[in-house]
Amino acid sequence: MDELTVRKAVREGYAARAGSCSTSDCCGSELLDVDVSSIEGGLSTAKLGVGDTLSVAAPQAGETLLDLGSGPGLDVLRASELVGSGGRAIGVDATPEMVFRARETARTRGLANVEFRLGEIEHLPLDAESVDVIVSDCVINLSPDKAQVFRDAFRVLKLGGRIVVSDVVADQELPASVREDPQAWAACIAGAVREADYVEFLRQAGFEDVRTSEARSPFAAGLHSAVVTARKPASRA
């Protein structure tokens, strides 16, 4: 499936849910109106959310945090309390409806250290080496170019900065019938890659100390969720 078709399917799927998402990522069974019978057991067990990246990332007062695919902004709003008035919490999302909703929530709450920007996570609207920590929950699987996501994440992180990602990964290569289904992409299914490939994307981007969580939760048949952490080297050498 070509990149534009994937992006259109994902954007339309999340634009339609902008008024109803109750989690930071909005991955879940509501989007699973798709033929996935080729995956043993089907996908009836898919559930909302895949991890708590903020707890793992542990943002500190004064830090700048970036959420990739911030959706309605709940993780960014939580992070704003952790980084405090001397820090900043930024969300980037490609769906205008999600960004508008998140901005309105932040405005209503009077949060001065929060910002939501419209943009693709492959091409982040941020300066190089401008953030201390990056988090993302069940979003990078939606990208048709995951290697570029991590390359740009590496670019915007400060030296020594950290990234914590929770995401859906595949136990095995998914069938072509799923990979080519737009609805399966929007449902956080078709874009899932194997955990080993996910780790390799981070390493190729330049990250070090790449680790995956020992605790893996089933997301659906043939898929599980994993938490992956990594750091940008502390020096250019």
The model's pLDDT over 142-171, given as tens digits with 9 standing for 90+, comes to 998 999 999 999 999 999 999 999 999 998
Q: With a cut of 80, say whether residue 14 has pLDDT above it.
A: no
**Integer CA distances (angstroms), 117 to 20, 73, 109, 208, 224, in order:** 20, 11, 18, 28, 30
Residue 78 counted as domain residue: yes
> What proportion of the chain, given as a percentage, has pLDDT over 90?
58
pTM equals: 0.84
**Integer CA distances (angstroms), 155 to 123, 134, 191, 233, in order:** 10, 11, 23, 12
Domain holding 137, by residue range, is: 3-231
Residues 8-31, mean pLDDT to the nearest whole number: 57
Cβ atoms within 10 Å, residue 9? 20
Residue 237 counted as domain residue: no
**pLDDT class for 3, splitting at 50, 70, 90?**
confident
pLDDT digits (tens, 9 = 90+) for 90-144: 999 999 989 999 999 999 999 999 999 999 999 999 999 999 999 999 999 999 8
Residue 236 counted as domain residue: no
> How many domains does one find in the chain?
1
Residue 224 sits in a domain of what CATH number? 3.40.50.150
pLDDT digits (tens, 9 = 90+) for 176-205: 888 888 888 788 888 899 999 999 999 999
Q: With a cut of 50, say whether residue 25 has pLDDT above it.
A: no
Q: With a cut of 60, say whether residue 218 has pLDDT above it.
A: yes
